[in-house]
Structure 1
Amino acid sequence: MIDVLVIGGGNAALCAALMAREAGASVLLLESAPREWRGGNSQHTRNLRCMHDAPQDVLSEAYPEEEFWQDLLKVTGGATDEKLARLTIRASASCRSWMRKHGVHFQPSLKGTLHLSRTNAFFMGGGKALVNAYYRSAEALGVQIRYDTPVTALEIEDGRFIAAQAGSQRIQAKTCVLACGGFESNRDWLREAWGQNERGEWPSDNFLIRGTRFNQGVLLKHMMEQRADIIGDPTQAHCVAIDARAPLYDGGIVTRVDAVSLGLMLNREAKRFYDEGEDFWPKRYAIWGRLVAMQPGQIGYCIIDSKAIGRFMPPVFPGVKADSLSELARKLKLDEATLVETLGSYNAACRVGNFDHTVLDDCHTEGLTPPKTHWARPIDTAPFYGYALKPGITFTYLGLKTNDKAQVHFGGAPSDNLFVAGEMMAGNVLGRGYTAGVGMSIGTAFGRIAGTQAALAAQSAPSARPAMKDKVHAAA
């Protein structure tokens, strides 16, 4: 019988598999996707938010625990478990040497991401390179890997894992780690969660999925039916405003439009609806998908002028370009008079000081609702650009309640051989909101914890191999 069964194929699952294998456990990893699509949403990532008390290779200055915690507290509005959040933060300080050992390389921040050089370590080659490195290491260590193997159900007795059902296969193991993502690709479940709004619209019908099409939430739903303890709001998610021309699935990072804080956001009525300059883009970009989701037709329009060009990471699709605001309105199919009036009111309200997009500068509006509190400059220099944006769901926050040992809970009691990591438990730390790179911090921290704890639990199982004990304690 296998010691540790890992269900999932992204960062958290791979971290769990590697840690369990290093601890001496036999490990089988089941990935629902085919090999060419392996890695879940992790293949679309690019960095990890890291605590550090002094400059470290690709990380500048310092990013201490308390600042990281305050950043997380702010974006979640307090909807976070402080104990698990601080566990994640502290783990982020010590994981990179382990990651390097498994073939992950880091690089300095690139142009357009320099404001993250203090807080985030970027993967050389992005998330795809990270995933490939982990798979190579797992294979070299003897982790068994099966692709195209979706698991549909688990046998659980009194909170203990017995076996997994994958098609016609019944797979037994001493312990199990669930790391198979949220339900963001399940269109029916999204519709059920978001419901119908007061305008008679079904908002989720207009959502795009930034990540993998394979995160259908099958095992999450199954665990709910098994009466596992659940945490989170099904409408809360990592939800970004992305280019409306993006594909339905797997658009990834390149579909994001990072110009919002440099310009204005309008709805289809050509009116503003939120403060574009509230805070730095890495802390606020993940609120804009939800804000756009609340607008008519679930669409927004980012408007900038030529002064903004070169100051943000260029998206994959060029913006709609025009020599006048009236022409831009016509091209975007927005009411011309309203757009011109909205921009005129904004321009008149701007109080320009020392513009600096790398700090919370003193450029703001006065007498305007909603205000723009930073980086407010008149949009008056042709050519003008517009981007139509839709909500892009990366991952959902509804998940399994857990503890500092990554155990799944039933009726408040932790399971002694069923563990969870990654998006399936991220809602413990992220009740709402997001800050750049923290998803990978959570997945890495809890993947490593889950793998270690699963190996320990397997060692204590009745038929465990005696020789495994010392290896497990060394890895833990």
Structure 2
Amino acid sequence: MEHAHAHTVDVLVIGGGNAALCAALVAREAGASVLLLEAAPRAWRGGNSSHTRNLRCMHDAPQDVLTDRYPEEEFWQDLLKVTGGLTNERLARLAIRESSGCRDWMRKHGVNFQPSLSGTLHLSRTNAFFMGGGKALVNAYYRSAEALGVRIRYASPVDRIELEDGAFRAAWVGNERIAARACVMAAGGFESNREWLREAWGQNENGEWPADNFAIRGTRFNRGVLLKAMIDAGADTVGDPSQSHCVAIDARAPEYDGGICTRIDCVSLGIVVNQHAERFYDEGEDFWPKRYAIWGRLVAQQPGQIGFSIIDAKANGRFMPPVFPGAQADTLEALARQLGIDEAAFVRTVHAYNAACRVGTFDHTIQDDCHTEGLSPAKTHWALPIDTPPFRGYALKPGITFTYLGLKVDEHAAVHFSGQPSPNLFVAGEMMAGNVLGKGYTAGVGMTIGTTFGRIAGAHAAAAARQGATHAHA
């Protein structure tokens, strides 16, 4: 095994998505030799980053594809609201401030931006969209990494890490030992580990295991092996294992990698009912990009983990149409039959909702004054009666994007053991996003965390490797 030491790399990066690539690129730019290990085969490289579309970023003046300004305080307030205060303000503000300087660096590595698409125009102030989406971003970063001399190995899942007093020594891929002076872990959460999801969500009062009915919106390779190994090794953790980016998606979605195209975006334009044809939450609480990520959890708490988004003809053209057409009928009874829910109960629910609607000036671009009165749960904005055929319904189930349980970090992205930072082991992306996201989500913030902390981790890993090399020669 001495042979492995002869080729000790400066910085080992474990993972192959956005955060890992940002870390690898920054470490390489700082002069470190870098080896990146991606668990997936080349064709599936990039993890969940391939499914992303944009980056939420702070800016104090209009910039190319970003309109107006999105100052630090507003970004922080948006994050505070969706997380309900379950966030580390120091680390969140660090990510927010760092996000303002990312895009020039991203462009240098081949990432291009485009104006936001119609249907996402309200995001043009806060989110910069990638030309060609996340797949193009991942490909650009891999091209740049290869050009800079980062060594990349695919189909190389790390199953354990060798530590000595909180310091990284080596990673093991099967029975191959790979030593490095410093390491960045960015290997994703545990969303594709069904057993761990079952354990996290438990059983409900009906004896169901809700996690059995979840689709995984992203990669099948994020099994949380490294996360579990670090927890077992005594690393300090943050977050609740049942919290995740969990969206209500089309119930016909595939088990893995359905990505963005399985989203159903008309929730705020109609009502959502469960299998018993009952409404269970305020569909008009806030704008869809701020609230879409609470609906997966809401649906997960319903019987059978299923819900139905119901709209009428007035909603047409006001949302991004789903990839698969929904059920459609000219009467409420016929729609209920198609969806397999009780006709009488469904008609009662819709009529009660229609009667409670107080229609003012409908405007889906602002929190308008169309609301319900005397109805529980209320619909606080965009409440229009469902009375104009054809009526449409989409079956919904929870879709997990990524889990929030992660490793506790500081401003250097260092992994901590009993409150002490490791001298040479760092973490970025989903494996530490829970420091910033205790619960909830707002569009594009996962990429903000991955990009900013990936770059921070890469810079500090390169510095730690330099220090390690100096000590070795001393």
For the 8 Å contact 1:458–1:464, the answer to whether it is kept is no
Matched letter for residue 31 of structure 2: G
**Percent of residue pairs identical:** 76
For 2:5, the equivalent position in structure 1 comes to: none
Secondary structure, aligned partner of 2:421: strand
Structure 2 unaligned blocks of 5 or more: 1-7
Counterpart-to-counterpart distance in 1, 2:126 and 2:344: 43
Q: Give, in angstroms, the shift of residue 353 of structure 1.
A: 1.0
Secondary structure, aligned partner of 1:33: coil
Secondary structure, aligned partner of 1:362: coil
Q: Deviations over 1:223-261 (max 9, x none)?
A: 011000011100000000000000000000000100000
For 1:400, the equivalent position in structure 2 comes to: 407
Counterpart-to-counterpart distance in 2, 1:178 and 1:463: 23
Q: Does 1:12 align with 2:25?
A: no
Q: Give, in angstroms, the shift of residue 54 of structure 1.
A: 1.3
For 1:433, the equivalent position in structure 2 comes to: 440
Counterpart-to-counterpart distance in 2, 1:173 and 1:115: 45
Of the candidates 82, 86, 92, which is equivalent to residue 93 of structure 2?
86
Counterpart-to-counterpart distance in 1, 2:322 and 2:453: 32
Q: Does 1:229 align with 2:236?
A: yes
Counterpart-to-counterpart distance in 1, 2:14 and 2:140: 19
Counterpart-to-counterpart distance in 2, 1:365 and 1:51: 35
For 2:297, the equivalent position in structure 1 comes to: 290
Q: Give, in angstroms, the shift of residue 464 of structure 1.
A: 7.4
Q: Give, in angstroms, the shift of residue 337 of structure 1.
A: 0.5
Q: Give, in angstroms, the shift of residue 179 of structure 1.
A: 0.1
Q: Does 1:319 align with 2:326?
A: yes
Q: Give, in angstroms, the shift of residue 462 of structure 1.
A: 3.5
Counterpart-to-counterpart distance in 2, 1:456 and 1:316: 47
Q: Deviations over 1:252-278 (max 9, x none)?
A: 000010000001000000000000000
Secondary structure, aligned partner of 1:265: strand
Of the candidates 320, 331, 336, which is equivalent to residue 338 of structure 2?
331
- Once the two structures are superposed, the pairs formed by residues 18-57 of structure 1 within 5 Å of their partners are 18-57=25-64
Counterpart-to-counterpart distance in 2, 1:462 and 1:210: 42
For 1:64, the equivalent position in structure 2 comes to: 71
For the 8 Å contact 2:23–2:184, the answer to whether it is kept is yes
Q: Give, in angstroms, the shift of residue 354 of structure 1.
A: 1.1
Q: Give, in angstroms, the shift of residue 125 of structure 1.
A: 0.4
- Once the two structures are superposed, the pairs formed by residues 314-463 of structure 1 within 5 Å of their partners are 314-463=321-470
Matched letter for residue 26 of structure 1: S
For the 8 Å contact 2:76–2:96, the answer to whether it is kept is yes
Q: Does 1:119 align with 2:154?
A: no
- Once the two structures are superposed, the pairs formed by residues 199-214 of structure 1 within 5 Å of their partners are 199-214=206-221
Q: Deviations over 1:274-304 (max 9, x none)?
A: 0000000000000000000000000000000
Secondary structure, aligned partner of 1:137: helix
Of the candidates 273, 276, 280, which is equivalent to residue 287 of structure 2?
280
For 1:473, the equivalent position in structure 2 comes to: none
Counterpart-to-counterpart distance in 2, 1:274 and 1:407: 40
**Please, what TM-score do these two structures have when normalized by structure 1?**
0.97
Counterpart-to-counterpart distance in 2, 1:90 and 1:97: 14
Counterpart-to-counterpart distance in 1, 2:220 and 2:366: 37
- Once the two structures are superposed, the pairs formed by residues 132-151 of structure 1 within 5 Å of their partners are 132-151=139-158
**Please, what TM-score do these two structures have when normalized by structure 2?**
0.97
For 1:162, the equivalent position in structure 2 comes to: 169
Of the candidates 252, 264, 267, which is equivalent to residue 260 of structure 1?
267
For the 8 Å contact 1:459–1:465, the answer to whether it is kept is no
- Once the two structures are superposed, the pairs formed by residues 214-225 of structure 1 within 5 Å of their partners are 214-225=221-232
Counterpart-to-counterpart distance in 2, 1:422 and 1:354: 42
Q: Give, in angstroms, the shift of residue 49 of structure 1.
A: 0.4
Q: Give, in angstroms, the shift of residue 168 of structure 1.
A: 1.9
